Structures are given as structure tokens and as C-alpha cells.
Amino acid sequence: MANVKCNPDLVRERAKCSFDVNELIHLIDGGENATKEKRHFEETIFSVKELQDAVPEEYLSHKDRYENAVRKATILRDVCREYMKKYNYKPNRFRVGHGVFKDVSPFLLHDGMFVATIIGQGTPEQQAEWLPKAENMQIIGTYAQTELGHGSFIRGLETRATYDPKTEEFILNNATLSSFKWWPGGLGSTVNHCIVVAQLFINGKSYGIQPFIVQIRDLNTHKPLPGVKVGEIGPKMGFQTANNGFLGFENFRIPRMNMLMKNAQVLKDGTFVKGMNEKLTYGTMVMVRVGIVGDCSLNTSLAATIAVRYSAVRHQSKIKAKEPEVQILDYVTQQHKLFIAIASSHVFRNVYSWLSKSYLNVMKDLAQGKQDHLPELHATACCLKAVCSRDAGSVVEECRLACGGHGYMTSSNLPLVYGFTIATVTYEGEQTVLLLQTARYLVKAWLAALQGKVLAPSVSYLSDWLKNDNVRWQNTPEGIVKGFQHVAAGKVKAAYDTIQKYIKLGKDYEDAWNLASVQLMKASEAHSRSILCEVSWGEVIRTSASPNLLQVLKQLAQLYLVYWTLETSGDFLVYSNISKDDIAILREKYEELLAAIRPNAVGLVDAFDLRDEILHSTLGSYDGRVYERLMEEALKSPLNQESVNASFHKYLKPLMEKAKL
Ligand SMILES: CCCCCCCC/C=C\CCCCCCCCC/C=C/C(=O)SCCNC(=O)CCNC(=O)[C@H](O)C(C)(C)COP(=O)(O)OP(=O)(O)OC[C@H]1O[C@@H](n2cnc3c(N)ncnc32)[C@H](O)[C@@H]1OP(=O)(O)O
Ligand SMILES: Cc1cc2nc3c(=O)[nH]c(=O)nc-3n(C[C@H](O)[C@H](O)[C@H](O)COP(=O)(O)OP(=O)(O)OC[C@H]3O[C@@H](n4cnc5c(N)ncnc54)[C@H](O)[C@@H]3O)c2cc1C
């Protein structure tokens, strides 16, 4: 990238960067070698001509766009397979995926959930049967759980799998419209297999939801098998190339061994054997929620790179009347909009790495029959997924708005990035629903704290706060982290007290819960924010980096702490010992941090190391040729391929002629 002829503003910005951009790239990637490998892989992918689109995707019809995505997905699969064989390298498909598809791959659910569910829910024999076929794409699958009538409340799913001991088969049925599967990615026209989550019935008795692996299309003709009704759900806000679909069964039989039986089992005679914990059936969702936190980091870095580079190139208006128009990045309001995006991406990355480790530890424990830390993992993954996805959506939209009119252009890529980022707020557990799951855990933890019990690490601050809620406020990062814990503890207590108040007024627990649920949701958000602050600050101070880089990383981490303290200052005034004077000091600190980060803004987004092919943006490319690219892309419009469009002769001319009469 270094030899590209760049916009002079960007050249100047890069020259004033106070830290070594390569050092930060290596830190993000996990070492210099990892960067080399990543770049070599990306270079390989983006030099494949067939993966490059001659015409921007947006001009294609819905059908052509899908077909083009499948074409590219198959080529990408082949190239990756060869690459992995040759270099023994496991690439991050998500980064290049954005480059190749702009939106998402029709194989997203195959990689993200189908294979993962076979691994997580299948017995060793079942894995031996299906995993090799799924991994080498002999079969292509998705994860079909959500139905027209139920997505959040999965105990309410209606798809039935009724066991027939005579034939040792399950009979799948979707008797109502609301029971039809609706949403699974790739289901529309791509996959031939599904993980179907259905209600198990044996001898008329319900045994809850279980995962089944089901072939739905013929492997040669791709026609739906008899008894299967399947199709695509149509255009959406984003995810256009994900090929989301619907599915229903009519007396469709599958062998007994197609129920994934790592947890619960159905024996030949129809005996149901309970698993260690019925919630382990939800395991794939927990894994993906963890992954989404990492995805939020990537999505935020895409938007931040585009908006910061554009803001360095774009000049508009003046700060001082007699001086030239300034780079819009010099407006402190612009820095306020954008630097939190850079900081959030780092926070999400650090927290993702921390959460992934917890996830892997819990998986190890479960393999040994220990499930003590599962509730904590579930509660933490739920609230972090909810808050990070919501933040990422807001940050991406703020970046888009920060690019003014040009941010509204599809060619900026910000609308597309927003489309797939905001989807993460809903899928894999709608945000409020997940926050309320965490609230269940917090309320239990609060009760345990009141009883003087020892709490799990992520909630131990509740006991600390009970012992001493009167800690003096300190305007230091550690003091702010403590402050976030105080806010969270105060909100958990208030929500808990509200439930108790309603119970005393004669409400039963469920109604009291519902009445207190806004407070419960906010308590859960505050808990999540306190984890984000504590973990990210902790990770930064433990980072080994050169003094210059460490200084910048600390500035970003502090910016995140101060930004969110100021954003939620009302809560701090209510639940911590912060004073108005402390808030004034923090405002000043925030302005200092914006000024300190300003000279490094371009260097910081360069360090996300997102190639132009991944950014896909007229506004965000490395060379900053913004206006040239906007014009080049506009000229690709089919309407610009003819000097006069047929509609002139057909409609406009007759209209004008009629007007003359
Ligand atoms: C540096 C950058 C790096 C970038 C790296 C990028 C890395 C990216 C990596 C991976 C990304 C992965 C992306 C993959 C692509 C994914 C595309 C996804 C497309 C979308 C797919 C989908 O949406 S699939 C469908 C998802 N559906 C849901 O999520 C449904 C949500 N609903 C539920 O989960 C449940 O209904 C709910 C939990 C809300 C309630 O369940 P219920 O059985 O009713 O339980 P409840 O009575 O409320 O509680 C009882 C009890 O059970 C506990 N519990 C609930 N769930 C769990 C669980 N999963 N584990 C453990 N325990 C659980 C709950 O806490 C209760 O406990 P108690 O309070 O009673 O003690
Ligand atoms: C882009 C995209 C891709 C998807 N891909 C897949 C896929 O591959 N496979 C799959 O199975 N599914 C998929 N889904 C479905 C997704 O998992 C669900 O849409 C999601 O879990 C939310 O469920 P819902 O649509 O039923 O929302 P609802 O539950 O109907 O939510 C509507 C409103 O009701 C509120 N609400 C619901 N329950 C409660 C409660 N208990 N307390 C308080 N408020 C509540 C919510 O907060 C929300 O405000 C996808 C969805 C999207 C958008």
C-alpha cells in the first residue's frame, strides 16, 4: 500500500503519526508472522480475477445477485481449500468475506452454525458420519430454528418430531403456518441439509426441543425431497446475499440417528435419556454470541476506517474566518463522533478475546462433566452480545452520518456495513431478550450477595459494593471502572427492590418481573458496560508494546471510559459518589483525549489493515481519491451507459407534448 499515490492530506496525516503503525497491526493480528500470513492470504484471494465484480452488485437483480454470490462462494471455497492445503493456514474468512461478497456469503450459516452444531451436539459416531462431508462441502447446511411464530421463545417452537419406535424414525411435521421455519441463511436455494430444531414427542409426551440433522434436497437434482416445502423469504434490509429461507415438513421421516444425541438421547424403543443439562442444546447459540462480539470489532473498524480517512480528506467550512476551509476531522464534534468508533473496535476485540477464553474453559469443563461456570458464561455472553451489537450499530450509523451526503451513497459502503452490523442486534437472540437473561443471573447473584455467599468473578463487585458502597470517587481509569461497577450494583439493587415492592403489593413473581423489566434491562446493560470497561482497561495495561504505542492504546481505552461515563453521567450521579466537579474534570479530560488522539487518527485506522478490496468504499480507500472514485463509480450506473434513456421517448416526451396542447 505504501507506494500508492495518495491524497496529500492523508500523506501529511500519516507523517505525523506518533507510533509505529506496523507495530499495532502486528499486535492486533497476534504477531508479525500472523500479519505476514494474513496479508499473503488476502493477496491471494484478491488477485483471483473471478472473485472481482465487473458491475457493482447493487445494479444486479435479486436473483442475479444471489447467483453471483453463490458463484463467488464456490470459487472462494476452492481457493481457500487449496491455500489451506498448501500453507497449512486457517484463515479468518470473515475479513475476506466482506471483500468478496460486500454483504454476506450464502455459506455463512454452513460455516457459522451447521458445522459447529454437528461438532457441539453430535456424538462421536454422528460427527464421523456428517462432519467430513460438511467440512468438504459434500453436503451444504444451515441452522433452522426460528419459525414464523417464534424466534425468541424457543421453548414455544412448533415444528414437531414424533418418534415412531416401529420404524425407528422421527416424523417431522409443520402443521400450522406459524410453525414454518423462517430466516435460516442459505435455506432459500443453497443448502441440501439443515439442523432442524424441533419439539420432540414420544408416545404423545413432549420432551422439549432437540436438534435434528435433516436432508431437505436431493443431492443431484437439488429438488426439495417429497414432504419438504422450502423457499426464499425475499429482500431484507441487509443480508441480501445470505439467501434466508422458509421450510415446512409434512410427514417427513428421518432415521433415529438423525437426532443429534451428544446431550439427550432417544433409544430404539423410544426411551428418552436426559442429558447432563437440557440447556446444552442451546450451545451453538452461546458460541455464536461470543463470535458476534468479535464481529462487532471488525464491523466497527470497517466504518471507522472509511469515516476517518474521508474526514481527513474532506474540507468544508472554516474554524477561523481568515483561514482556509479545514479538514472536517479538525472539528472536535467530528472527533467526538469518530474516535469512539476506533476505541470501541479495540474494546470489542479485547473483550472478545477474553470472552473466547472463558468460552473455551467452560467447554473443557463440560467435557469433564463440570458445569459450574455455564450460567456465568451464558449470562456474560448474552449481555455482551446485546450491548456490543447495539453499540456497533450506533457507531457505524454515526460514522455514516459523519460522512454527510456521501455517506448515504451505496458506494461509500457504509449503508451495507450498517445493514449487516445492525442485524447482529436481532439475530442470535434479540437484545432485550438477552439482557433479561442476564438480569435473571444478576438477580440471583444479588440474592446470593445478600446472603453473604461467594459470587462468580464477573459479579463479585456486587458483594464488594454491599460491603462498602461509600467509596470515594477517583478520577482515574481504575476509579472510573469502580464507578461503572457501582452504577451496575446500584441498578441491580434498585431492580431487585422494585420486584420485591411489587410482590409486597400482591403481584406474583412473573408479573413483578415484567413490571420491573425496564430496570432489569438497564441493570443488565450497566453490568455489561462495567465488564467492557474493566476487561478492556485491564487488557490494555497488561499489553506489552513500545512506550509510544502503549500511550496511544491507553488514550483510546481512557477515551472509552470517559465517553461512557459522560454519556451516562445521570446514572453516575445517582449511583456513585461522583460530583458535578468530577464530571467537569472528566469533560476536560475528554477534550484532552480527543486532541491527543487527533494526530494519530489516520494511523490508527490504517492499523486495522483493511485492504481497499475489503472496505469497498469510495470514501475510505487508502489513497483518499474520494471525489475521483465517487465519479468513477457513478459512471458505472447503467443509466450512464446511454446518453438518452428509453423512458424519455416513452413517457417524458409525451408528457411534455401533452402539456403544449
Ligand atoms: C478482532 C476481530 C476479530 C473478528 C473475529 C470475528 C469472529 C467472528 C466469529 C464468529 C462469528 C460467528 C458468526 C457466525 C455467523 C452467524 C450468522 C448467524 C445468523 C443468525 C442465526 C440465528 O439467529 S439462529 C437463532 C438464534 N435464536 C436465538 O438466539 C433465540 C433466543 N432465545 C433463547 O436463546 C432462549 O429462548 C432463551 C435463552 C431466551 C430462553 O430460553 P428458555 O429455555 O425459555 O429458558 P428460560 O426459562 O428463560 O431460562 C431457564 C434457565 O436456563 C438458562 N439458560 C438459558 N439459555 C441458556 C444457555 N444457552 N446456556 C446455559 N443456560 C441457559 C437460563 O439462564 C435460566 O437459568 P435460571 O435462571 O433458571 O438459573
Ligand atoms: C438477518 C437475520 C438472520 C437470521 N438468521 C437466522 C438463521 O440462520 N437461523 C435461525 O434459526 N434464525 C435466524 N434469524 C432469526 C433470529 O434469530 C430471530 O429473528 C431473533 O432471535 C429474534 O426473534 P424474533 O424475530 O422472534 O423476535 P421477537 O421475539 O418477536 O421480538 C419482537 C419484540 O418482542 C420483544 N420480546 C420478545 N420476547 C420478549 C420477552 N421475553 N421479554 C421482553 N420482550 C420480549 C423483543 O424485545 C422485541 O422488541 C435471523 C434473523 C435475522 C434478522
C-alpha cell at 105: 456469503
Amino acid letter for position 36: K
Ligand nearest to the CA of 146: 2
Question: In the predicted model, what is the mean pLDDT of residues 349-368?
Answer: 97
Mutate to test the pocket of ligand 1, among 103, 119, 288 (most ligand atoms within 8 A of CB): 288
For 136-168, how does the pLDDT look when each residue is reduced to its tens digit (9 = 90+)?
999 999 999 999 999 999 999 999 999 999 999
Mutate to test the pocket of ligand 1, among 378, 443, 459, 510 (most ligand atoms within 8 A of CB): 378
Question: In the predicted model, what is the mean pLDDT of residues 357-369?
Answer: 97
Mutate to test the pocket of ligand 1, among 27, 93, 114, 285 (most ligand atoms within 8 A of CB): 285
Ligand nearest to the CA of 92: 1
Ligand 2 pocket: which residues have CB below 6 Å? 109, 142-146, 150-152, 183-185, 239, 244, 423, 426-430, 432-433, 436
What global pTM score does this model have?
0.97
User: Could you tell me if the CB of 284 is within 6 A of ligand 1?
Assistant: no
Does position 3 have pLDDT exceeding 60, yes or no? no
Cα 475 off chain centre by: 32
Which residue do the cell numbers 450491548 mark? 387
State the distance from the centre of ligand 1 to the C-alpha of 377, rounded, in angstroms. Answer: 11
- The CA distance from 162 to 170, in Å, is 5
Mutate to test the pocket of ligand 2, among 430, 437, 519 (most ligand atoms within 8 A of CB): 430
CA-proximal residue: ligand 1, atom 10 (nearest):
291
State the distance from the centre of ligand 2 to the C-alpha of 429, rounded, in angstroms. Answer: 6
User: Could you tell me if the CB of 94 is within 6 A of ligand 1?
Assistant: yes
| pLDDT at 471 (0 to 100) | 82
Kind and range of the H or E run holding 527 = helix 517-542
Does position 2 have pLDDT exceeding 70, yes or no? no
Atom of ligand 2 nearest to the CA of 238: 1
State the distance from the centre of ligand 2 to the C-alpha of 151, rounded, in angstroms. Answer: 5
Torsion angle, CA of 101/102/104/107, rounded to 10 degrees? 10
Q: Known catalytic residue: 642?
A: no
C-alpha cell at 661: 396542447
Question: In the predicted model, what is the mean pLDDT of residues 165-183?
Answer: 98
State the distance from the centre of ligand 2 to the C-alpha of 434, rounded, in angstroms. Answer: 10
CB neighbours of 216 closer than 8 A, spacing ≥ 6?
191, 192, 193, 194, 224, 225, 228, 230, 247
CB neighbours of 221 closer than 8 A, spacing ≥ 6?
none
Q: Which residues does the annotation place in the binding site for FAD? A: 146, 185
CA-proximal residue: ligand 1, atom 38 (nearest):
437
Q: State whether the Cα torsion 440-441-442-446 is positive or negative.
A: positive
C-alpha cell at 59: 445494479
| pLDDT at 366 (0 to 100) | 95
- The CA distance from 434 to 387, in Å, is 10
What is the residue-averaged pLDDT of the chain? 97
On whether the CB atoms of residues 148 and 67 are closer than 8 A, the answer is no
Length of the chain: 661
State the distance from the centre of ligand 1 to the C-alpha of 278, rounded, in angstroms. Answer: 13
For 217-272, how does the pLDDT look when each residue is reduced to its tens digit (9 = 90+)?
999 999 999 999 999 999 999 999 999 999 999 999 999 999 999 999 999 999 99
For 547-566, how does the pLDDT look when each residue is reduced to its tens digit (9 = 90+)?
999 999 999 999 999 999 99
Confidence of residue 4 (pLDDT cuts 50, 70, 90): low
Q: 79-114: buried (b, 16+ CB within 10 Å) or exposed (e) per residue?
A: bbeebeeeeeeebebbbbbbbbbbbbbbbbbbbbbb
Atom of ligand 2 nearest to the CA of 181: 11
Q: Which residues does the annotation place in the binding site? A: 146, 185
- The CA distance from 26 to 181, in Å, is 43
Q: Which of the residues 428, 534, 539, 613 is marked catalytic? A: 428
Confidence of residue 1 (pLDDT cuts 50, 70, 90): low
Kind and range of the H or E run holding 198 = strand 193-202
For 426-483, how does the pLDDT look when each residue is reduced to its tens digit (9 = 90+)?
999 999 999 999 999 999 999 999 999 999 999 999 999 999 877 889 999 999 999 9
State the distance from the centre of ligand 2 to the C-alpha of 154, rounded, in angstroms. Answer: 10
Report percent pLDDT > 90 for the chain. 97
User: Could you tell me if the CB of 373 is within 6 A of ligand 1?
Assistant: no
ipTM confidence = 0.98
On whether the CB atoms of residues 214 and 208 are closer than 8 A, the answer is no
State the distance from the centre of ligand 1 to the C-alpha of 507, rounded, in angstroms. Answer: 29
Ligand nearest to the CA of 147: 2
Of the listed ranges 113-117, 317-321, 331-335, 468-472, the one predicted with least confidence: 468-472
Q: In Å, how far are 435, 459, 568, 609 from 431, measured between CA atoms?
A: 6, 20, 19, 30
Taking each helix axis from N to C end, the angle separating 547-567 and 21-29, rounded to the nearest 10 degrees, works out to 70
Which residue do the cell numbers 453471483 mark? 68
Atom of ligand 1 nearest to the CA of 286: 59
C-alpha closest to that of 329 among 280, 402, 392, 378: 402
What domains can you pick out in the chain, each with its CATH number?
110-275 (2.40.110.10), 432-453+474-599 (1.20.140.10)
